[in-house]
Amino acid sequence: MLSVLKSMNRMEKRHSPHLSLAHAYWKELLCAGGIAIDATCGNGHDTMILAELLLTYPESLLFGLDVQQSALNKTSALLQSAIPASHFARVSLHQLCHGNIDRLPLPASPRLIVYNLGYLPGGDKTITTQTPTTLQSLQKAADLLAPHGAISVTCYPGHLEGEKEESAILNWARQLPHAKWQICHHRWVNRQASPSLFWIYC
Ligand SMILES: C[S@@+](CC[C@H](N)C(=O)[O-])C[C@H]1O[C@@H](n2cnc3c(N)ncnc32)[C@H](O)[C@@H]1O
């Protein structure tokens, strides 16, 4: 945990500490490569960070999914403009509800599965992640993970569906056996309804 906090960039810490903390966790976990999944690609910013952390390792693979094809198009354009073609060749993007994450053509168990819940910034706010499919996806993600893998979930309780979703995830996470799972829920106590981060590690 200390090394994760140390690697948070000071500027990022001030503006979006939940994302900065998530990225620091990902960096530590992906230090030997592997397979990662971005279960909510959106505008592609998280997928980009995963690509930069992961794809320098030659055998590594990155999967991305979103229900909106327009989100996948943005993600694809962002990645193609910023990473080498040889790295982009190991990215596959799928228009899929993350409730069906087990349908991805994974060649091996993933090391990291990332969720950044809610709706696409600047997009249609009615297309937002929903508690039942998020929970279905998280359970499948927990079953898919490689040993010593992790699930990262950023929640936005500042809107109604986000608040329900965060509370349902908390209840789901609490019942995971403590002998197998280590789970942190980071929240910023002096910011009303600020985003929070679950780090779910096995
Ligand atoms: C907050 S945005 C993600 C932000 C993104 N990670 C980024 O870095 O730009 C949430 C995304 O989840 C997608 N989404 C909503 N419901 C989904 C579902 N059931 N399965 C997969 N993606 C979903 C939305 O289309 C939206 O693009």
134-186 pLDDT tens trace:
999 999 999 999 999 999 999 999 999 999 999 999 999 999 999 999 999 99
Can you spell out the DSSP letters for the chain? -HHHHHTS-HHHHHH-HHHHHHHHHHHHHTTT--EEEES--TTSHHHHHHHHHHTTSTT-EEEEEES-HHHHHHHHHHHHHHS-HHHHTTEEEEE--GGGGGGS--SS--SEEEEE-SB-TTS-TTSB--HHHHHHHHHHHHHHPPTT-EEEEEE-TTSHHHHHHHHHHHHHHHTS-TTT-EEEEE--TTSTT--EEEEEE-
Query: Would you say residue 5 lies in a domain?
Result: no
Query: Would you say residue 91 lies in a domain?
Result: no
What's the CA-to-centroid distance between 148 and ligand 1, angstroms? 25
Query: Would you say residue 84 lies in a domain?
Result: no
Stretches in the chain below the pLDDT threshold 50: 10-11
Closest residue by Cα to atom 16, ligand 1, is: 129
Quick check: CB of 127 below 6 Å from ligand 1? yes
Closest residue by Cα to atom 18, ligand 1, is: 97
Closest residue by Cα to atom 3, ligand 1, is: 42
What's the CA-to-centroid distance between 72 and ligand 1, angstroms? 10
CATH of the domain at 191: 3.40.50.150
pLDDT at 132: 98
pLDDT at 11: 43
pLDDT at 3: 61
Look at the chain and report how many structural domains it folds into: 1
Query: Would you say residue 167 lies in a domain?
Result: yes
Query: Would you say residue 107 lies in a domain?
Result: no
Query: Would you say residue 121 lies in a domain?
Result: yes
Which range of residues forms the domain containing residue 143? Answer: 113-202
pLDDT at 1: 56
Query: Would you say residue 162 lies in a domain?
Result: yes
